[in-house]
A and B are shown apart, each in its own frame.
Chain A
Amino acid sequence: MGLGRAAKESISNAVNFLPDRCNYPGSKAQVTNRIHTEYIKAGHVIELENVGYSYGGGELLSDVSVQLIPGSFHFLTGPSGSGKSTLLKLCYGALTPTTGRVRAFEADMRDLDRDQMAMLRRRIGVVHQDCRFLDHLPLADNIALPLTVSGPDASQEGSDLKELMQWVGLSERAHALPPELSGGERQRAALARAVIMSPDVILADEPTGNVDWEMSQRLLQLLVELNRMGKTILIASHDLALIRAAKSQVPVRVLRISDRRLQLAGADL
């Protein structure tokens, strides 16, 4: 399975970051763990510091602090309406915190102008719960959209698209319109679109919410592989089986939103 030139560069960057990769024998997971350790010295991908968010007079999140280390794999759990999607939106700047601050790649999001925010979002791949495609464009164009909007330089990496669609098993559906896709196909397409720019971090909001068990395992496998390539992953999900399946493959940190606050989940998960 390949990810194309952009993704390959990212993997290469991640591995090259190690002082001497020859000294890191072992499984991919072990290498990833060491990458985490080294990246910690370089700072956080996304950092929320005492973040609060209120909407319509009610407080949804209060005093939330979390740091996403490069190459880490986090799950965000909590009951429906607890603020999981809100927290993800805060992470990619779709919402502005009422209190506290959000930093992404060492930059305080409050200090970014609109162009800078757009550039920052190119480094964050987002898989929305409802996927959100442009229904008038064929699937291939939808997946390539981040390349398209990034200009001709990024679009030259067009050969990535074919490999990527093959990777998510959608090669045969390249010309289909989004409304013609099944739930699983939409989720896989959303994931493909999220990673086509080879972002540093992938945020996924209930990525397996509308698919069966088999498909959810397949999607998880894609995310695990991305994590092994050095991508930082944050998945909002209340699917405990999915979390357990992930924990069996990569080091996973589980966060739980409870009573508007973020807590580290217990070992029962």
Chain B
Amino acid sequence: MSRGSIRTLMLGDAQAARVVPPSGFTAQLTLFVSGAMAFLAVFALALSLSAGRLADRWAEELARSATLRINAPADQRAAQTAAALKILTQTPGIAHARALTAEQQTALLTPWFGADLDLDDLPVPQLIEVIEADPGYDAAGLRLRLAAEVPGAVLDDHTRWRRPLVEAAQSLRRLGWFAIALIGGATAAMITLAANAALSANAQVIEVLRLIGARDRYIAQAFVRRFTLRALIGATVGVAFGLGGVMALPEASQEGGFLTGLGFQGLSWLLPLLIPLLGALVAFVATWSAAHRTLKELT
């Protein structure tokens, strides 16, 4: 498709548009489908972007910290803790390491055991928080050294439970994009059906135009322009409603978790504005190919 014909399409050829009679249900169908699909695409986009942000945040926050547990008899705990801290300070790639105080450990357990917890009654290990530098440390090497010098130390770099969480968030993000692709495909299929219906309904018009010397491009243009503009209008309305719906969602909060964070942030609010343009592009391609396929069947 040449730049000239795209320009003609965008600027419009009122005469070309007029040769096709105003169609009935295909016009409403295209408007409705484009609007509904654009509405859904806004939510799919919001889901995908939110899941992406969550995956990035979890991956970043958890990757930078690790926990060292000292499971030692009470009389050896202080010595092993001191030895472990010494090893940690000597290990390249560790920015900071500190042993949690009894109060801090109690605060961590309070949500599960209540406020009147006495740590002396429970065999709670000593916890050491480790903050990773950039680049990070060699976890395997550190484990070997700890095993040799601090027998009660267990290094937990959160990999075990961090990976599934990040993978889940990333899957959710992929699912969002897949949903957008499906919406695009469904839109293309529906508009192709509508265009085919319009082309069939206007078979006699097309025949007359061919017989008086109209080129395929001229005939196709009349249909393509009509369906592209309808898709653009329908999708714009759908996006407006979709954005309204996203804005009506509760704002992100610590208590609400992931669901309250569903939406757009910053410049990502501009991304839904691309949906009407993409919808129009999908309609353009779908109608153009449907028209050319139909016209080639005519002599």
Task: List chain A positions with a Cβ less than 8 A from chain B.
Answer: 92-96, 114-115, 118-122, 126, 128, 132-137, 141, 145-146, 148-150, 155, 193, 197
Contact of B216 among A95, A114, A120, A146 (CB under 8 A): A114
Q: How far is the CB of A120 from chain B (nearest CB, A)?
A: 8
User: Which residues between 106 and 129 of chain B lie within 8 Å of chain A, taking CB atoms?
Assistant: none
Does B299 count as interface, using CB distance less than 8 angstroms?
yes
A109 to B215, CA, bound (A): 16
Does B186 count as interface, using CB distance less than 8 angstroms?
no
Task: List chain B positions with a Cβ less than 8 A from chain A.
Answer: 15-16, 18-19, 21-22, 204-205, 207-216, 218, 295-296, 299
Q: Which residues of A contact B21 (CB under 8 A)?
A: 134-136
Docked-complex contact B215 and A118, CB < 8 angstroms:
yes
A135 to B208, CA, bound (A): 11
Q: How far is the CB of A78 from chain B (nearest CB, A)?
A: 23
Known A-B contacts A94-B299, A134-B205, A137-B18; A115 and B215 likewise in contact (beta carbons under 8 Å): yes
Q: Is chain B's interface secondary structure helix, strand, loop, or mixed overall?
A: helix
Docked-complex contact A93 and B205, CB < 8 angstroms:
no
A56 to B158, CA, bound (A): 77
Residue on A with the closest CB to B296? Answer: A114
Contact of B210 among A118, A135, A136 (CB under 8 A): A118
Q: Which residues of A contact B16 (CB under 8 A)?
A: 148
A113 to B296, CA, bound (A): 11
A125 to B274, CA, bound (A): 47
Docked-complex contact B208 and A126, CB < 8 angstroms:
no
Known A-B contacts A118-B215, A121-B213, A150-B213; A96 and B299 likewise in contact (beta carbons under 8 Å): yes
Q: How far is the CB of A129 from chain B (nearest CB, A)?
A: 13
Known A-B contacts A94-B211, A96-B299, A118-B210; A148 and B216 likewise in contact (beta carbons under 8 Å): no
Q: How far is the CB of A142 from chain B (nearest CB, A)?
A: 9
A94 to B211, CA, bound (A): 8
A119 to B214, CA, bound (A): 8
A94 to B205, CA, bound (A): 15
Docked-complex contact B299 and A149, CB < 8 angstroms:
no
